[in-house]
Amino acid sequence: MLKHKKYVYVEVTKEEGKKKRIYYVKVRVLKSRDNSDPQKYIVLDLVRTSKPRTAKVLSVDVLPTDVKQLILSKV
């Protein structure tokens, strides 16, 4: 359940051989932090393969590099 824009999903594309798979990782967003601050994003353990219907989906490229590396290690 997504409440008050606290959670977003980050779309990660991973190539496995000839196939391209898309994963969605759930991330908690802290509104009180600055956008460039890596502490703003808390990566959760939930990884989906289907696109969430009502959630906001971000690209991995939008996030800071520290958060990006953490998300890529989850997939």
The distance between the two most distant Cα atoms of the chain, rounded to a whole number of Å, is 42
DSSP 8-52: EEEEEEEEETTEEEEEEEEEEE-TTS-TT-GGGEEEEEEEESSPP
- Say what the pLDDT of residue 2 is: 64
CA 12 to chain centre: 7
**pTM for this structure?**
0.85
**Residue positions counted in the chain:** 75
Q: What is the pLDDT of residues 4-35, one digit of tens each?
A: 778 999 999 988 888 999 999 999 999 888 87
Share of the chain above pLDDT 90, in %: 49
